[in-house]
Every structure is written in C-alpha cells, then in structure tokens.
Structure 1
Amino acid sequence: MATSPDQLRSWMGGPEDEHLEFKKASHNFDSRKLARYCSALANEGGGKIILGVTDRLPRRVVGTQAFQSLERTKAGLIAGLQFRIDAEEISDPGGRVLVFHVPAHLPGKPVAFEGAYWMRRGDQLVSMTPDMLKRIFDETQLDFSAETCRDADLTDLDPEAIDNFRAMWRRKSGNTQLESLSAQQLLTDAELLAPGGITYAALVLLGTARALGRHLPDAEVVFEYRAAEPSVRYSQRREYREGFLLYRDDLWAGINARNDVQHFQEGLFVWDIPAFNEAVVREAVLNAVTHRDYLRHESVFIRQLPASLEIVSPGGFPEGVTAENILWKQSWRNRRLAEAFAKCGLVERSGQGADMMFGQCIREGKRTPDYADSDEFQVVLRLSGDVQDPRFLRFMEQVAKEKAISFATEDLVVLDAIHRETHVPERLEGRLPALLGQGLLEKTGRGRGTRYILSRRFYGFLRQKGVYTRKRGLDREANKQLLLKHLQDNRDQGSQLGELRQVLPHLTRGQVRGLLRVLRKEGCATCQGRTRAARWYPT
C-alpha cells in the first residue's frame, strides 16, 4: 500500500475528482469531518483523501500536523464507520503528508457516519439523495435479463430472429461452426437459454409479438413523429412489442424517412449532413433497450421532430452512471442482455457507446447528446439535428489532415465546450495542454482568471480576425465594467474588496485589485480608507 513519491506527484498533477480529495490541513483537521469524507468516498466508489497538500492546481506539499497518532486515528475511523480505512504517512521534502485509502462500499451497503450516508456535492459534504441510495441498495439485485421466464419455451422465440442472431454472431466471431448448431444449442451457448428455461434477455432480443404480450408486455418501444413542437397529436405512431432483432431496421427506416439532409458549401467543397446520424440513433436506441429497468411498467418512447429526437427509457441511469460522467463511466443494468448484443456485434466495449455518440455529434457540428432532464425514474436523451457551425467542422477536418492526427472524443468535447463557451468538465482539463501545444487553443489571463479560447488560426480560417481580437481583449474590459456597475449601484455606502471579489469570483484578490487601480487611474473610481476597511466609490 506504500505510496511512492512519484505516485504522490502524479496525483497532485491530476484533476480532483470523486475518487481524490486534497486538503491543506497545515495544523489540524476535524476528525468528524475526516470520517464524513471517508463515508462519501466509500459511497462514491472508493478513493483517497490526502492531507498536507493544497487543493488547487498547481498543488504543492505544505505538510500537516494533524493526527499525530495515526494508528489511533485509524481505530477511531473504523469504530465510527464500521468500515476499514487504511492510512499512511509520507515524508516529503515539503513536509508530512497523510494519505487515507478508502475502499468502495460493499455491494448494497452504503457507509454511514453518525446516522447519515454522506456524499460530496462540489466542495460540500451532504446527505446522499434518495436516488443515490437506491442505486447502492439495488446493487445486490439479480440481473433481471438473466432470470428465466417460467412459462416461456422455445416456441415463444421467433425463428427469423434466431436466424438473424446466428448470422450476426457468426459474422462477428468468425466461428463457422455456429451455422451447424441447433437453435437450442445456439441459445444455450449464448446463455440465452438456461437450465431453468428461456431467459428474459432471449425474449427481449428474439421473442414473438405474442410471447412479449403474454410474458413481458412492458418490453415495448413506441415511436412517434410530430411535425412541430407545439403539436399535441402525433402524425405517425408505431408500437413495437416483439424481439428487438425483428424491428430494429424498421424503426430506423421510420426515423430516416423524415431525416432531412442539410447542404453546406465552403468554397468548392460541398457536403451533406443528415439531421440524425444513423450510427448515433441506433446506439441511442440500443442503450435504451439494453439499460432500461424492465421491472417498471412503462415503455421506451422515441419522439421525433424535424430537428430533434428524444428517447425516454424507464428507470434512471445504471449504478454509478450520471449525466456528467456518462462519457467515461461504464456500467450495465441488464448484463446478460448486453452480452448477447455484444455477441452479435451490436455493441462494443461497455455497450453504452457514449464516446461514439458524443464524438460523432461534434464531428457533424451538432450539440452533444443532452441528458439534462434525466432523473432516478427515467433516462431522457435529446439529440439535436441542427448543424450549429459547419465551418468549425471544416476547420477540424483541415487540422486533422494537415497534422496527420485523429482527435479522441475527449479532445473533441473540450474543443466543443470552448467553442460554445461552456464549462470544460474537470476530468477533461488534463487534455488542455496538448491542445494548446497543437495550436488549437490559446490561453488568456493568469491564475484563477485563466480562460481558454480557440486559436487565432481558427478565426483566421473563418475570416473573423476581428472577433479573435475582441475575444482576447473582452475579459478585461468586461470585468472592469462589471466592477464599475457594482460601484455605481452601491455608491452611497461604498464597496469593500471582499464584496467586489464576489462580482468576479473567478479572479484572484490581486487581479481584482489591479482592475480597481486601473479604474482609479482612469478617473472612474476612488478609494477611501486603508487595509480591509477601505471602501471603493464611483467618481
């Protein structure tokens, strides 16, 4: 368990996420707070809390005097949490560092401290939400898709669907012997037929319409098309209640029938982009069928509009997956069903395919898949069919060709977020240096005021060099105007520096002071008093 100096430096250089927590704790650290952090880390899959290191990048070792008797601290944690926590002390040139190693909770058993189950929300510790607790309690539930349907038999499976499954599995595996297997042996080898009978995974994948109606009526996908958003009535509706392999192509054909193609031209280069990419839509539908909760008496709904597609599947995300981490978190709800899909080549890797969906949407200049309206009862996915900025797409293609590189999905997500001026996920901040080095991004500001923009080359490609100049210089002038407006709104009582920092929380104390000095030099502001009691007024 001993942590090497190189490992410590590696942790210090990476982003702080749900598995890693840094605390300065120079002199002391509250033992009850430590226990709450350990509870939260255990409930979120395990991790480490490190004392004696500053929590913001670039981190440095400052040393800690907390918990001089480490064995007694460990004993107290175990007694309070009823859960084993390991700890070690590291002697670093910068001072004493403590590392508390927190394993993940046992399946189905969240870790409590003082009667509460803890989780982290930003920089705070809060009680776990009901949906988070439910996910942990549900971990010990059996895989529903692997259970057998007592009254079903081989006649409930469609021969055409079985033949399709055989052909797809043979093509995926290259195993020609699959062609000579009986249907019963084929399904047994695929673990769709168990000693107890037909599995629910087999019904979802291969079942006849009659069998689904009798044994699993909620395994239904409903497709609706509406010509306009406000329209209450759909202009087309199809209900699919049979094995997935029997309707998957028909479902896509229905969506593709109204799949408008958008035409774009950049100089002599002309290209077409459909509103809905086939690979993305098929993956999204597959995820809904694979990862839905089949114990909920609801159908999967697919609602198409001319420029958007919404897929709603019953049950929240699988255990551990959220709208924020879906790009890199992998989990199954119905493992047997997911494995059957993998055998016939419909899914790769985890079966979620979120990286492909995100990457393809960005490559086509569309918004990334939107899961914002999902909750513990349903997963809601919205796909936008509008191409937002085809020139951004052309620029990326040109850079990739010139530099002979291919962009990982994580790189595309970072570039897309900066292009749209939205938040870059903390987990992906480590991709920024490489993108800076490739000349795709530029950095403005310093310290906590650092901001990233697309490079001069991008705006030159768009013939918008003036926009680039404005973006490079926008922050400083905009920040000055925000400070001046606050001073004018509070001219009677004046404004202290701490209050003005609330106006620009992304800037350091020194940066705010620098802007105030500029305002004073320009004759726009004046300061009365000294030290922390000083107040600023508009002139």
Structure 2
Amino acid sequence: MISKEEVQILLDKLETSIADELESQQLDFKQWITRSFDDNIKLMLKMAVCMANGGGGSVVFGVADKVKGRSNAILGVPEDVDTTIFQKRIYEKTDPHLTPVFEDITVPEGSTRLLLMNVFPGMPPYTTTDGSATIRQGKDCIPYTGSLRRKMMDTSTQMDFTDEIIHEDWQSLFSHSAMERVREIMSRERVDESLLTLSDEDLLRSIGALKENFLTKGALLLVGKPEAISKYIPQYKWSFRKMISDTDYSHRDDGTHAIPVALYELERYIAVDNPMVTVESGLVHPEFSTYPTIALREALLNAFGHRDYRMNGTIMLKQYKDKLILTNPGEFVGGITPKNILHHPPVARNNHLMDLLDRLKLVNRSNLGVSRIFRSLLIEGKEPPIYREVGSNIELTFISSPLNKDFKNLINHMAQEKNHIDVDHLLILQYLIRHEEIDTSIAAEVAQRSMEQARELLSKMQNEFNLLESIGRGKGRYFTLSRSAYKLLKGELQYERQQILDKEAVKIRILSILKTDRSLTNKEIRQLTGMNQKQVQRLVKELEPDGVKIVGKGAGTKYIYSP
C-alpha cells in the first residue's frame, strides 16, 4: 500500500510527467466524475475488485491522468462526500466482501481534497455481486475470465498480509514493554533457555521477525509501539466492554497495543469478575475460576492470530454477567465451519504471524488450541464454547457456568483407572447430563465426527470405560449413563429415580391427556416432555398395552387412547 506522504511526493512529479506515467501494478490515478455521484461509486467498485484480484493496491481519486502540471492535473474531489458511504456500498456490492480504507489528502490545488483508496490483498477471486470482475495486470484492469482465474490460481500463492516488510528502522518501531510481555509468556511456557538469553535483536532474527533488517507486519503486531501499529496497520484495534445489558456498559477500553500487551490487559479486565471456587481434596485445595485461564488465553490468541488484518474492525471482548462474547473481523477460511472446527486440519489466514506465535510458544500450530478451549471447560463440567459466523465476523461465546464437582470427580476417577478421556468423550458426557439419552446420529453431531466414528466412540465408552449403557437394537438403539457413572455424578438414588420414577411419571401424564378424548402428535409430546422424536416413538410403543394406539401415517400420525 502507498502512504499519503508517498502520494505527496509523486504529486510533485506531475510538473514534468503525466499521472499515467506514475502508475504501476499497485497504483492508479482517477479523475473525479462530476456528472454523477453513482458513477464514482461504480468506478470505485470496479477498481476495488481489480486491485484485490491483482494482489492489492491503491487508487488516488481527483487527479486527471493525461495532463501535465500539478495545477492542471489535480482537480480534487468534492469536500462534502462521505467516505463511509463508499465503504458501505463497496462492501455490499462485492463477493466476497471488500472493505477498502479511505484517507483524505490535502492539496493546495483544485477542491484541495484528494481521496486515497487502499485495497488490501485478500483471497481472490473477487467479483461484484452481479458476477463481473477485472484484475490488475501492469497498469491496466483487464476482464478476469474463467481461464485467467484458473491460470492465476494454479501459478500463484496467497499473499500473507502479516509477512509484508516495513521499510523503516525497526528500533524506532520497537516496544520494550511488548517485548517484556513476550519474554514473560515464553518463560511461563518453558521455552528453550537459550532463546531467553538472546538479545532482543537476536531473538527477533532467530524467529524470523526481522527480514533484511526490517520488521514484518506480523512482528510489528507482536513487539511494535501502539503508534507504529496505528500507522502501518490502521485497521487493527482491540476493545473491551463490561456490559450491563445488551445496549449499556459500565466500563470500556480500546487500544492498539501489541498482541502480548493487549492479551495482558484483556485478561486483567476479565479477572476482576471471574469468581474462583476452591475444592477441598486432601491436603491440596485447588482453585477453579468461572472462565478457565487456558480457555481464555487460547481464545484471545486465536482471535488475534486469525483476524483478517485487511478489514477495518476490532477484536471485541464483551463481558456480561452470565457470558463472555469474543468477536474478531474475518470469516472462517479453508473450509472450517462452526460444525467442524474441533477436528478440521489447521488453516491459517496469517501464516507468518502464526509462525511467530508458534516459535515464541504463544500458540500451538497443530490445531490443539480449539481442543484446549473445549477441554478446559468440559473437564470442569461446564458448557462447551459456542462458535458462530456473524456476517464477516467470527463470534465465540463462553457461558458462565459453575464448576461441577461431581463431574470433576468422575474424570479424576477415570484418570485413576488409567482411562484417557478426550474431548469427544467429554462432549458426549456433557450432552447426557443435560438430555439423559443419546443415539449415534446425535453423538456424531455433538462430537463433530462421522457416523462411523461416533459408533466407535459410544462403543468404547460402553465397553472399555463402562460409562454408558445401550438400550434397544439396530436403528432404535440409544445410550444412557451407566449405573456406575450415574452414581458418581448424581448418586445411586438419583439413578433409580431417573430410570423408573421419571419415566413412569411421563407415561401417566401422557395417558391422562389422551384419556380426555384428546389426540396428541409426536411434536406435541416432545414439547410436553422435552424428549426427542425417537424417544417419543419408544414411549408410545411402551404405552400400547395401556390402550394407546397410533392412527395415520407420516406427518399426519396421531396418538389416541382406545381401551
């Protein structure tokens, strides 16, 4: 991208050159179209798509490109045009969405105002919403045809924004406080002592943060001063809100500090209202917080590491009374979705930044971060995290839930028996605590596994771990907690009550309704009991000796009482 200062230097060359001669693969000059506001938006839309497909670039609006002399070429743009309108229209009219950054440039000529539009490199191909597209080649925007797209994808690799070099003295950009936070984290994670003894410069060189004696943008995000980050990555920002309701907050903070400093500040804010519970266990009294430190740290580092740094926006952490919501700009990449995020092979938008974080032991690149988030919550009997894709943002929610001491005891018991309980098993156990029964299809969905893998999980939990009992055969087969698991979690009497009394109570309730000459559908019984469709079908089958009959077929099926 070109800076405003660099544009000013180029404008001086207009005395002896025309703007067209100053253009390049990543720079274009365009004259403002005075006859129509919409025509300017169409031009900006075309140029945004063109530059994005060509690897990113900049367009200066308000300069005629075929005229020599500053006063003749610099015509300017109207003073009253609002750049937020341009951003919004370009975002709405591009697929995938583009969010160029606009900056004003003040000049003495013309209307005294020029517009600089910076389009950051992304993941092409980009098109307008009507399917048209161009691509920058040299100084021209040419049609981005199907064969050209295929050729470009076959011969090019994705540009990494965080791998770009900043050609400025790195020491003037360097933050000693950020580096100190980096070393604290490295020491806590027990990295190789030889790394900790290196000087700041040698450490940066050893991990690839210094290239050709210059910092990369990824390195700037780790050890840069806030003002340097704001200058070279203006779209970067983090924010915290202590929420009173969905619309009001009692405290806020915003910053552009380097990632390690931002991590420290955000964890500090959460700690103010992250109650601890002490569990007595012999001579050791371990403490457990509402939001486990491991889950929070991994989530925050993932948000910073995978954020789309080409987009304006903020990494926002909102702390409510009953939940935490973390959002970061950028959609899921590489086929990852909320439904497969737990086991999908790792995919990074910012490979260089993630490499730096990995080498400093701040993250793990083997896709263990998401598993750690799930496990640290589930192992304490808490609700699993909830991932969502909201527009062009990724949202992660932690539900405030107390430590389940009985569940923790069950996990400790399994460890003593030398049975390793992984995240898949924990998810199934958590589901059974809330729903009492699970079948293979639900287990596959809950654990984000295939049907075959889900069958293996359930079989192992039954036959090796003795955590489950199976009921029924074939497609009607389902699983419940075993007596031994139930005893550890809820006690022997609770197990007996759940197995006998609750089921009988449900039967009596359904029979009493049907005896009033009223029919019920499967859906209505589900609403009454909280059961799923298959559970209702099994229940009705058991009620047939009591006079319950099935009438109709398919969607019209009803249950009646006919003694």
TM-score (norm 1): 0.61
Shift in CA distance, 527/480, structure 1 to aligned 2, threshold 3 Å: farther
- How many angstroms does 1:400 deviate by? 2.3
Task: Tell me, in whole angstroms, the C-alpha distance in 1 between the residues paired with 2:291 and 2:371.
Answer: 17
> What does 1:323-362 correspond to in 2, within 5 Å?
323-329=338-344, 330-350=346-366, 353-362=369-378
Task: Tell me, in whole angstroms, the C-alpha distance in 2 between the residues paired with 1:218 and 1:224.
Answer: 19
Q: Partner of 2:66 in structure 1?
A: none
- How many angstroms does 1:467 deviate by? 3.7
Deviations 1:427-482 (A, max 9, x none): 15122111112211111222222222211123323564344235445679968987
> What does 1:131-530 correspond to in 2, within 5 Å?
141-149=158-166, 153-162=170-179, 165=182, 174=192, 176=194, 179-180=197-198, 183=201, 186-195=203-212, 197-226=214-243, 228-229=244-245, 232-263=247-278, 272-329=287-344, 330-350=346-366, 353-371=369-387, 373-387=388-402, 389-401=404-416, 403-421=417-435, 423-426=442-445, 427=449, 429=454, 430-437=456-463, 438-462=465-489, 464-472=491-499, 506=534, 519-525=543-549
SS of corresponding position for 2:460: helix
Q: State the one-letter code of the partner of 2:303.
A: A
Q: Partner of 2:91 in structure 1?
A: none
Shift in CA distance, 351/195, structure 1 to aligned 2, threshold 3 Å: farther
- How many angstroms does 1:180 deviate by? 5.0
SS of corresponding position for 1:374: strand
Give the fraction of aligned pairs with identical amino acids, expressed as a percent.
Answer: 23
Task: Tell me, in whole angstroms, the C-alpha distance in 2 between the residues paired with 1:536 and 1:304.
Answer: 47
- How many angstroms does 1:273 deviate by? 2.2
Task: Tell me, in whole angstroms, the C-alpha distance in 2 between the residues paired with 1:526 and 1:318.
Answer: 48
SS of corresponding position for 1:420: helix
Shift in CA distance, 179/314, structure 1 to aligned 2, threshold 3 Å: same
The answer on whether the counterparts of 2:239 and 2:317 sit within 8 Å (CA) in structure 1 is yes
SS of corresponding position for 2:249: coil
- How many angstroms does 1:376 deviate by? 4.9
Task: Tell me, in whole angstroms, the C-alpha distance in 2 between the residues paired with 1:384 and 1:292.
Answer: 23
Structure 1 stretch 283-292 or stretch 478-487: which is displaced more?
478-487
The answer on whether the counterparts of 1:263 and 1:273 sit within 8 Å (CA) in structure 2 is yes
Deviations 1:283-307 (A, max 9, x none): 1110000001111100100111344
Q: State the one-letter code of the partner of 1:288.
A: A
Shift in CA distance, 414/463, structure 1 to aligned 2, threshold 3 Å: closer
Shift in CA distance, 525/162, structure 1 to aligned 2, threshold 3 Å: closer
Q: State the one-letter code of the partner of 2:459.
A: P
The answer for unaligned runs of 5 or more in structure 1 is 1-106, 110-114, 116-136, 529-533
The answer on whether the counterparts of 1:480 and 1:515 sit within 8 Å (CA) in structure 2 is no
Task: Tell me, in whole angstroms, the C-alpha distance in 2 between the residues paired with 1:180 and 1:270.
Answer: 38
The answer on whether the counterparts of 1:162 and 1:206 sit within 8 Å (CA) in structure 2 is yes
Task: Tell me, in whole angstroms, the C-alpha distance in 1 between the residues paired with 2:368 and 2:297.
Answer: 11
Q: State the one-letter code of the partner of 2:474.
A: G
Deviations 1:98-152 (A, max 9, x none): xxxxxxxxx979xxxxx9xxxxxxxxxxxxxxxxxxxxx9x95312111224567
Q: Partner of 2:528 in structure 1?
A: none
Task: Tell me, in whole angstroms, the C-alpha distance in 2 between the residues paired with 1:360 and 1:454.
Answer: 22
The answer on whether the counterparts of 2:462 and 2:469 sit within 8 Å (CA) in structure 1 is yes
SS of corresponding position for 2:466: coil
Task: Name the Cα RMSD after superposition.
Answer: 4.3
The answer on whether the counterparts of 1:364 and 1:390 sit within 8 Å (CA) in structure 2 is yes
- How many angstroms does 1:189 deviate by? 3.5
Task: Tell me, in whole angstroms, the C-alpha distance in 2 between the residues paired with 1:328 and 1:425.
Answer: 12
Task: Tell me, in whole angstroms, the C-alpha distance in 1 between the residues paired with 2:328 and 2:213.
Answer: 29
> What does 1:79-98 correspond to in 2, within 5 Å?
none
Task: Tell me, in whole angstroms, the C-alpha distance in 1 between the residues paired with 2:545 and 2:305.
Answer: 64
- How many angstroms does 1:313 deviate by? 0.6
Shift in CA distance, 159/507, structure 1 to aligned 2, threshold 3 Å: closer
Task: Tell me, in whole angstroms, the C-alpha distance in 2 between the residues paired with 1:169 and 1:268.
Answer: 31
The answer on whether the counterparts of 1:148 and 1:197 sit within 8 Å (CA) in structure 2 is yes
SS of corresponding position for 1:287: helix
- How many angstroms does 1:378 deviate by? 0.9
The answer on whether the counterparts of 1:220 and 1:299 sit within 8 Å (CA) in structure 2 is yes
The answer on whether the counterparts of 1:418 and 1:424 sit within 8 Å (CA) in structure 2 is no
Shift in CA distance, 488/339, structure 1 to aligned 2, threshold 3 Å: farther
Q: State the one-letter code of the partner of 1:358.
A: F
Task: Tell me, in whole angstroms, the C-alpha distance in 2 between the residues paired with 1:338 and 1:535.
Answer: 57
Shift in CA distance, 483/153, structure 1 to aligned 2, threshold 3 Å: farther
Shift in CA distance, 444/265, structure 1 to aligned 2, threshold 3 Å: farther
- How many angstroms does 1:352 deviate by? 5.7
Q: State the one-letter code of the partner of 1:441.
A: L
Shift in CA distance, 266/425, structure 1 to aligned 2, threshold 3 Å: farther
Task: Tell me, in whole angstroms, the C-alpha distance in 1 between the residues paired with 2:255 and 2:367.
Answer: 22
- How many angstroms does 1:327 deviate by? 1.3
SS of corresponding position for 1:506: helix
The answer on whether the counterparts of 1:158 and 1:206 sit within 8 Å (CA) in structure 2 is yes
The answer on whether the counterparts of 1:449 and 1:507 sit within 8 Å (CA) in structure 2 is no
Task: Tell me, in whole angstroms, the C-alpha distance in 2 between the residues paired with 1:167 and 1:526.
Answer: 68
Shift in CA distance, 452/265, structure 1 to aligned 2, threshold 3 Å: farther
Shift in CA distance, 205/460, structure 1 to aligned 2, threshold 3 Å: same
The answer on whether the counterparts of 2:377 and 2:383 sit within 8 Å (CA) in structure 1 is yes
Task: Tell me, in whole angstroms, the C-alpha distance in 2 between the residues paired with 1:327 and 1:387.
Answer: 23
- How many angstroms does 1:396 deviate by? 2.2
Aligned length: 390
Q: State the one-letter code of the partner of 2:163.
A: A
Q: State the one-letter code of the partner of 1:333.
A: R
TM-score (norm 2): 0.59
Task: Tell me, in whole angstroms, the C-alpha distance in 1 between the residues paired with 2:394 and 2:218.
Answer: 20
Q: Partner of 1:7 in structure 2?
A: none
Shift in CA distance, 463/378, structure 1 to aligned 2, threshold 3 Å: closer
Shift in CA distance, 239/356, structure 1 to aligned 2, threshold 3 Å: same
Shift in CA distance, 160/205, structure 1 to aligned 2, threshold 3 Å: same
> What does 1:24-173 correspond to in 2, within 5 Å?
141-149=158-166, 153-162=170-179, 165=182
